Chains A and B, each alone.
Chain A
């Protein structure tokens, strides 16, 4: 079975929130050196809520689609709610079966977003 579901391909080809933020107060970069994936997240946190998020970077389809999908999920959530997102939740959002060697691609964005919002804690 392919990991490139229609949803993943859609988010890869038309990523949501792939933008630089003008109004921001947190940013965090992550990279996966073994794959060459790198992502920079920017966010605006107001009254303990992530009111806006944007990301830039490059990587494989899984890592880019994952950044797009998770960024949609976390926008508008309270920091505690974001920090409560587990990696199992990320797999549910993506809706695909990932092999052990591709899990790190999917989780790069999750790691980046958790660190992004932790900055303001």
Chain B
């Protein structure tokens, strides 16, 4: 059964690369024609700056840019569009928060992150910990068990007492690991964290689930949430930071300049309220408008079906790896999402990726910007296949057969 049978037709890349097997959506998703059209329209019909000119095309640009803010707010169920900041990337959004909340830190403050985080959600906290002399508490990943906060490996019942305390200022966690694809029960984690410390702030990195799982920031009760546009079929160069109004307005912007101020005198500046205080400089207007179009595109998808589809492909791929390669491959994923990471005991991940590339198959090799996790997995580099709506069972079979051919090529028996 193929849930999204005709969906490849929405993605123009398949017109010029008919046989492309794109299994690298954890890195970036492909772009549908609707998004390309929206970007093209901006550049051809109203390529003006936002929030400045009073002429028609500037007003159109501003309207479309702000309309996307409203679309995003509805998409994640924020209380108001003012809680939606446009950033240049998810990384940019996390840096805004990590530098913006420095004023909350005292001598014995603590920060909690997990060992499975992408460097984007790790380095800013490591930097803040050093800057404020705080303790960085890293929730360990135990191979075969998962994060060291689950009571048992069968159930993801959360106990955070080992890591979260009254000294914790912020907990930063992703919804899904970008390497192994494990789902973190963030709602329960946030609930448990706030039970221990009601003043704790929680930042959620939703990059890896944004295109397959409905996000509701009010239900999650997170203080911040970030994602990048290009992980949800939108353009590169833009991301979203959601922040609860009160904390957002207490934060100073880390990137300062034009467009973010109420008044500037020779020696002092008064900033605008959020979100504009964080949007200095000409923003990535076309990308933001493209994101709006991407969100309209996904509104036509049933996310429950997307999640099921991705997981079905992963599960089939994992089963195929086990039956074709037996104990020569180590598989690090459970098949909960579209992401599968594995390594071959005889062939280096880069060589496998290269041989697959020669067959028009796009997968990723390396540490995927998650070195602490690879250290925990005791592997230098993994091969990662990540599936999305435009993949199907035939893609899974093509990858498995290319891997088998790689074994023949490298004379591995």
Is B267 part of the binding interface, using a Cβ–Cβ cutoff of 8 Å?
no
Interface segment, B40-48, B59-67, B76-84, B346-354? B346-354
Q: List, in ascending order, chain B residues with CB within 8 A of A37's CB.
A: 348, 380
Is B69 part of the binding interface, using a Cβ–Cβ cutoff of 8 Å?
no
Is A84 part of the binding interface, using a Cβ–Cβ cutoff of 8 Å?
no
Q: List, in ascending order, chain B residues with CB within 8 A of A102's CB.
A: 350, 354
Contact B348 A59 (CB under 8 A): yes
Nearest Cβ on chain A to B412's Cβ, whole angstroms: 11
Nearest Cβ on chain A to B331's Cβ, whole angstroms: 18
Contact B350 A33 (CB under 8 A): no
Q: List, in ascending order, chain B residues with CB within 8 A of A38's CB.
A: 380
> Are A34 and B411 also in contact (CB < 8 A) when A2-B358, A60-B348 are?
no
CA distance A35 to B365 in the complex (A): 8
CA distance A47 to B365 in the complex (A): 43
Chain B, residue nearest A34 (CB): B366
Contact B354 A36 (CB under 8 A): no
Nearest Cβ on chain B to A12's Cβ, whole angstroms: 8
Partner of A35 from B350, B371, B379, B411 at Cβ < 8 Å? B350
Q: List, in ascending order, chain A residues with CB within 8 A of B365's CB.
A: 35
Partner of B351 from A33, A58, A60 at Cβ < 8 Å? A60
Is B158 part of the binding interface, using a Cβ–Cβ cutoff of 8 Å?
no
Q: Which of A13, A36, A38 is the most central at the interface, judged by chain B CB atoms within 10 Å of its CB?
A: A36
CA distance A37 to B374 in the complex (A): 14
> Are A60 and B409 also in contact (CB < 8 A) when A33-B371, A35-B366, A36-B381 are?
no
Is A105 part of the binding interface, using a Cβ–Cβ cutoff of 8 Å?
yes
Is B277 part of the binding interface, using a Cβ–Cβ cutoff of 8 Å?
no
CA distance A64 to B349 in the complex (A): 14
Give the interface size class of chain A.
10 to 19
Is B367 part of the binding interface, using a Cβ–Cβ cutoff of 8 Å?
yes
Chain A, residue nearest B381 (CB): A36
Q: List, in ascending order, chain A residues with CB within 8 A of B351's CB.
A: 4, 60-62
Q: List, in ascending order, chain B residues with CB within 8 A of A60's CB.
A: 348-351, 354
Contact A4 B367 (CB under 8 A): no
Partner of A61 from B348, B358, B371, B379 at Cβ < 8 Å? B348
> Are A35 and B381 also in contact (CB < 8 A) when A60-B350, A61-B348, A102-B350 are?
yes
CA distance A105 to B367 in the complex (A): 15
Is A3 part of the binding interface, using a Cβ–Cβ cutoff of 8 Å?
yes
Q: List, in ascending order, chain B residues with CB within 8 A of A13's CB.
A: 411
Chain B, residue nearest A64 (CB): B348
Chain A, residue nearest B380 (CB): A36
Chain A, residue nearest B350 (CB): A60
CA distance A3 to B380 in the complex (A): 22
CA distance A77 to B123 in the complex (A): 44
Nearest Cβ on chain B to A15's Cβ, whole angstroms: 14
Contact B409 A4 (CB under 8 A): yes
Contact A33 B358 (CB under 8 A): no
Interface residues of B (CB under 8 A from A): 348-351, 354-355, 358, 365-367, 371, 374, 379-381, 409-411
Q: List 13 A-B contacts (CB under 8 A).
A: A3-B354, A4-B354, A4-B355, A35-B348, A35-B365, A35-B366, A35-B381, A36-B367, A61-B410, A62-B351, A62-B354, A102-B354, A105-B350
Report, nearest first, the 3 A-B pairs whose CB atoms are least far apart: A36-B380, A36-B381, A60-B348
What would 8 more interface pairs be, CB under 8 Å, given A35-B366, A36-B374?
A4-B354, A34-B367, A35-B380, A36-B367, A37-B348, A61-B410, A62-B354, A105-B350
